[in-house]
Amino acid sequence: MREYETTFIVQPEISDEGAQELLTRVDGILERSGAIRLLHDDQGKRRLAFDIQKFQKGRYVTTYYLSDGSAVSPVERALRLEESVLRFLTVMADPEVIDIEARKARAAEDERRHAERARERAQREAEEERAREAEMRSGGRERDRYGDDDDDGERGDDE
């Protein structure tokens, strides 16, 4: 078995549910082509180094899976046809995985860690959102006066 990782960029405007649906579809394809799905690593929205279809941000998801190679083309075909996917890249991460169970265990561990990270990120984002709203309500005039500073703050939030 080989280990592959497929990273793809989903349009930022797609909702969490929509992205989840896409992932379940990918799961289905992997299962049908006899691959073992290790994990989906949702890295959240990141700024693109350059615009793609006029989008400046994108949701990055990396899917790790074990396959003999026959699963790659169906997955890529599905991603190519999916309009909400801006880009994808498949890389062979390991040409020969011998201990499949050990790799699975490691993936489960990673998945837990990623989930924790995602939760933290969501919490932070929610907090920032609340802070922004509070600021909007309290000091609309001040915001105008320090327009530049506020801009910088918003850019920081994106990271």
Give whichever of 115 and 131 is closer to another protein, judged by the CB atom: 115
Q: Which two tokens stand for residue 1?
A: 């078995």
- Residue 60 touching another protein (CB under 8 A): yes
Give whichever of 111 and 135 is closer to another protein, judged by the CB atom: 111
- Residue 117 touching another protein (CB under 8 A): no
Reference 7, options 74, 112, 92, 70; nearest CA is 92
Which ranges in 3-146 belong to alpha helices (H)? 16-32, 72-81, 100-138, 140-145
CB 77, min distance to another protein, A: 18
Instruction: Assess contact for 2 and 96: CB atoms under 8 A.
Output: yes
Which residues, 79 to 108, sit near another protein by CB under 8 A?
Answer: 86-89, 91
Among 1, 19, 48, 97, binds another protein (CB under 8 A): 48
**Each residue of 87-109: b (16+ CB within 10 Å) or e?**
ebebeeeeeebeeeeebbeebee
Q: Which stretch binds another protein (CB under 8 A): 2-10, 13-21, 29-37, 144-152?
A: 2-10
User: How far is residue 77's CA from residue 90's CA, in Å, rounded to a whole number?
Assistant: 12
Indicate the angle between helix axes 16-32 and 72-81, nearest 10 degrees: 150
- Residue 70 touching another protein (CB under 8 A): no
Q: Which stretch binds another protein (CB under 8 A): 3-11, 17-25, 115-123, 133-141?
A: 3-11
CB 68, min distance to another protein, A: 23
Site residues (CB under 8 A) for another protein?
Answer: 7-9, 43, 46, 48-52, 56, 58, 60, 62, 86-89, 91
